[in-house]
């Protein structure tokens, strides 16, 4: 049995009709359950993947632990060169891999290609970072003493990613973890196993070409059992988890019990505030991308729209107009703006999520073989229970406000704290919004959408979003351990704080 004609490109990524889903010490294998990868646009079978068993996992971690002893001794700029080559391998397969993201996850092709480009950009960023893992020199209060901070690798970093960004989030973590001297253990989402296999194949080719231990990068396709094993494993110094707040809390508790480190990127429930002085056309375009992009399945999706009462109807009229023009269909077809939800179960969540308010546009499941729904705007109270929860669907809750204080309170009233945005031209509003009395989110934007973050800044959020930070800025420090080192190069032993001990 081979691929259908439209799936022939998968062979270029090293995929076949049936694929082992574990990369362990340079060998592909898998002795766990056999799962079927499904195209959410039509719910048809693409290919099979053999998931990891616990025995596969243990063999993989043993090999990874041995490889870590070698990898951490390689100079950081040399590690950066390996990551540079990974970026080049991704560039060579950008079109194929981006197409696979669209096929298996369901996001439209421009977004699928953009996701792969994001990993390439992360590789470029990490290459530069590999020469800038700087410590610091600290003035000592004692004569003939020097204090410095030294950064060293953690050893092994575990990365558990979600279906909505099936390879980009790996890139945020793995590119930096690798240049910091860590081996990487990756568990991709259970519903996107082909992307996990294809990404691993690209990384494996670079390691093989450079005669490096293949176990530097170890990956598993699998479900909760493998995720729990990663969380419990004392050999894994840091676990980076992307997913729901509910599961993230369990991961954090498990990792904390063994005194491990945790990096969490959890739920979002993001708001855009449109002030009375806003550029309405700019705001409407931004809301459309933020609420409809990726079929509302980004953690940074705009789920709540807060509009000043004086321009409320004007904004809604324009927004409803553009919503009616959104083309729904196959994510691989040119011109499609809204692809399918990822699973059939997501359609049920969509129906639940539009209860309790007045539907202004959309509100229906599209009759087809796939998981399509209409982009929907619901007028609703800010304190409705459904507004407090994250919903992975193209549903936008709209509400009006009178004052900036009221808008900020509504923005901050949900458990999650990932992304937020305000549209205004007034400096006094802008600076209050980004200050201590403004948004309580990790991402605080002005005159741009809640989604589409650049890799140069640290990505993450507060409260039930977990507090983690990935990608740029000083996020690299999470993937290393800090040692404060004091060196006495004299013959005396003066003590700190002027203590005289005998």
The secondary element (H helix, E strand) that includes residue 463 is strand 462-463
Q: What is the pLDDT of residues 105-137, one digit of tens each?
A: 999 999 999 999 999 999 999 999 999 999 999
Q: Residue 176 pLDDT more than 70?
A: yes
Radius of gyration over alpha carbons of the chain, in Å? 24
Q: What is the pLDDT of residues 207-220, one digit of tens each?
A: 999 999 999 999 99
145-153 β-sheet, strand order: 136-138, 145-153, 480-488
In this prediction, residue 8 carries a pLDDT of 85
**What residues contact 420, with CB distance under 8 A and at least 6 apart?**
270, 271, 272, 273, 411, 439, 441, 443, 444, 445, 450
Annotated catalytic residue 265: yes
pLDDT digits (tens, 9 = 90+) for 386-416: 999 999 999 999 999 999 999 999 999 999 9
Q: Which of 265, 309, 406, 454 is catalytic?
A: 265
Residue pair 13/25 in contact by the 8 Å Cβ criterion: no
pLDDT digits (tens, 9 = 90+) for 306-321: 999 999 999 999 999 9
Q: In sequence order, what DSSP letters do the residues of 336-379 get, joined into one string?
A: --B---SSHHHHHHHHHHTTTSEEEE---B--SSS--B--EEEE
pLDDT at 79: 98
Q: How far apart are CA 398 and CA 296, in angstroms?
A: 15
What average pLDDT does the structure give for the chain? 97
Q: How far apart are CA 452 and CA 439, in angstroms?
A: 18
Euclidean distance between CA atoms 423 and 478, whole angstroms: 33
223-226's contacts with Cβ under 8 Å and 24+ in sequence apart are: 223/51, 223/190, 225/54, 226/51, 226/52, 226/54, 226/57, 226/187
pLDDT on residue 114: 97
Q: State how far the Cα of 451 lies from the Cα of 326, in Å rounded to an integer.
A: 19
Mean pLDDT of 230-244: 98
- Asked if pLDDT for residue 1 goes beyond 60, the answer is no
> Residue 24 above 60 pLDDT?
yes
369-383 pLDDT, tens digit per residue, is: 999 999 999 999 999
Find the helix or strand (DSSP H, E) in which 151 lies: strand 145-153
Q: What pLDDT is recorded for position 499?
A: 84
Based on DSSP, count helices (H) and strands (E) in the chain, helices before strands.
13, 24
Q: What is the pLDDT of residue 308?
A: 98
Residue range 266-279: average pLDDT?
Answer: 98
Q: Give a three-class secondary structure readout of 38-71.
A: EECCCCEEEEEEECCCHHHHHHHHHHHHHHHHHH
130, 146, 148: which is closest to 483 by C-alpha? 148
How high is the pLDDT of residue 462? 98
Kindly list the structural domains of the chain, giving each domain's residue range(s) and its CATH number in brackets, ordered by start.
19-266+466-483 (3.40.605.10), 270-454 (3.40.309.10)
pLDDT at res. 501 = 82
What pLDDT score was predicted for residue 2?
A: 65
% residues pLDDT > 90 (the chain): 97
Q: How confident is the model at residue 497 (pLDDT cuts 50, 70, 90)?
A: confident
Q: Decide if 77 contacts 138 (C-beta within 8 A).
A: no
Full-model pTM: 0.96
For 345-368, write each residue's pLDDT tens digit. Answer: 999 999 999 998 999 999 999 999
- pLDDT confidence of 500, banded at 50, 70, 90? confident
């Amino acid at each position: 049995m081979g691929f259908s004609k439209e799936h022939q490109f998968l062979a270029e990524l090293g995929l076949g009709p049936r694929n082992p889903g574990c990369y362990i010490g340079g060998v592909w294998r898998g002795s766990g359950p056999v799962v079927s990868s499904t195209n959410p646009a039509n719910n048809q079978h693409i290919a099979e993947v053999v998931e990891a068993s616990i025995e596969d996992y243990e063999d993989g971690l043993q090999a990874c632990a041995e490889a870590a002893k070698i990898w951490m001794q390689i100079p950081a700029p040399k590690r950066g060169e390996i990551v540079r080559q990974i970026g080049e391998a991704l560039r060579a397969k950008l079109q194929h891999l981006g197409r696979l993201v669209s096929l298996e996850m369901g996001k439209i092709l421009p977004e699928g290609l953009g996701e792969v480009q994001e990993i390439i950009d992360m590789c470029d960023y990490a290459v530069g970072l590999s020469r800038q893992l700087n410590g610091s020199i600290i003035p000592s209060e004692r004569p003939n003493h020097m204090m410095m901070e030294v950064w060293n690798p953690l050893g092994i970093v575990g990365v558990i990613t979600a279906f909505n960004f099936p390879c980009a989030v790996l890139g945020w973590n793995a590119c930096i973890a690798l240049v910091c001297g860590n081996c990487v253990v990756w568990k991709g989402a259970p519903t996107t196993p082909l992307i996990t296999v294809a990404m691993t194949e690209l990384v494996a080719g670079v390691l093989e070409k450079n005669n490096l231990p293949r176990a530097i990068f170890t990956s598993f396709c699998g479900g909760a059992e493998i995720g729990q094993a990663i969380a419990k494993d004392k050999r894994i110094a840091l676990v980076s988890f992307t997913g729901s707040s509910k599961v993230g809390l369990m991961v954090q508790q498990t990792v904390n019990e063994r005194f491990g480190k945790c990096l969490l990127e959890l739920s979002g429930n993001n708001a855009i505030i449109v002030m009375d002085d806003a550029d309405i056309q700019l705001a409407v375009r931004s809301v459309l991308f933020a609420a409809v992009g990726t079929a509302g399945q980004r953690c940074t999706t705009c789920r709540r729209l807060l509009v000043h009462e004086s321009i409320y109807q004007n904004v809604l009229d324009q927004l409803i107009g553009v919503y009616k023009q959104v083309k729904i269909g196959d994510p691989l077809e040119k011109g499609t703006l809204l692809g399918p939800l990822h699973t059939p179960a997501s359609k049920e969540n969509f129906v639940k999520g539009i209860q309790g308010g007045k539907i202004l546009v959309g509100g229906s499941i599209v009759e087809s073989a796939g998981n399509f729904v209409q982009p929907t705007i619901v007028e609703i109270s800010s304190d409705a229970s459904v507004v407090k929860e994250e919903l992975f669907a193209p549903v936008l809750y709209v509400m009006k406000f009178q004052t900036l204080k009221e808008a900020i309170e509504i923005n901050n009233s949900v458990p999650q704290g990932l992304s937020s945005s305000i549209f205004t031209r007034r400096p006094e509003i802008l600076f209050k919004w980004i200050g201590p009395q403004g948004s309580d989110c990790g991402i605080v934007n002005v005159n741009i959408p809640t989604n589409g973050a650049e890799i140069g800044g640290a990505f993450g959020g507060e409260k039930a979003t977990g507090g983690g930070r990935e990608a740029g800025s000083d996020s690299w420090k999470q993937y290393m351990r800090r040692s404060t080192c004091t060196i006495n190069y004299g013959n005396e032993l003066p003590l700190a704080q002027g203590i005289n001990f005998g």
